[in-house]
Amino acid sequence: MIVHSGGASCSGNGSGLVKSNRVQAGFTLVELVTVMILLGVLASLGLGGFASRSAFSPVLASQQIASATLLAQQAALAGSPSNTLTIQQSSDAITFTVGSTVTTLARNGASLSYRQQSQSGFSTVPSTGYSVTFGSMGRVVAPVTRENINFRITGDSQFDLCLSSLGAVYSGTCQ
């Protein structure tokens, strides 16, 4: 910032001279343009950070698993043949199917894996699908009866979900 001190000016009122100093303060055009350029660079870096974020939400995917599970359980309790939840994972989407109800979420680089209680590690849900069938009491009867199933959704973050052998769905890993 440059401060200009104006020259002394004199004015007369008949009885003598009055001296006043005029001071001008402000920013130069170069300083203002530099600040505008810096703000533009910072704004573009900030927008780039938001634009690169995935729109996929592990929480949304886990809520979809819980919702589809509930739908299949209700069908099983009602005696409907639509008592199976099938989850498929392609290169660009995760699909949840219960009867004629199909819901698809874009993957955006995220993945869904599962682990049955008797397995030691997680397996990626294949494109051919992973199916969970519920019996007339709303309990898991397939792929394995009386076993909990862990689901793990990974993307920008990781989220674990448990489907208990009794059909309850809750966040976290199965105990």
Q: What pLDDT score does 89 carry?
A: 95
d(CA 67, CA 59): 12
What pLDDT, in 10s, does the model give residues 124-170? 999 999 999 999 999 999 999 989 999 999 988 889 999 999 999 99
What pLDDT, in 10s, does the model give residues 56-71? 677 788 888 999 999 9
Q: What pLDDT score does 122 carry?
A: 95
d(CA 60, CA 79): 29
Q: What pLDDT score does 59 carry?
A: 79
Contact 155, 110 (CB under 8 A): yes
d(CA 151, CA 159): 8
- Nearest CA among 153, 152, 149, 117 for reference residue 133: 149
Q: Residue length, the chain?
A: 175
What pLDDT, in 10s, does the model give residues 80-106? 999 999 999 999 999 999 999 999 988
Contact 82, 72 (CB under 8 A): yes
Confidence of residue 49 (pLDDT cuts 50, 70, 90): low
51-80: b or e for each residue (b if 16 or more CB lie within 10 Å)?
Answer: eeeeebbbeebbebbbbbbebbbebbeeee
The per-residue pLDDT of the chain, averaged, comes to 83
Query: Which phi-psi region, left, alpha or beta, contains residue 157 (left: φ > 0; alpha: ψ -120 to 50)?
Result: beta
Percentage above 70 pLDDT, the chain: 79
DSSP 124: E
Q: What pLDDT score does 26 carry?
A: 84
Q: What pLDDT score does 27 carry?
A: 84
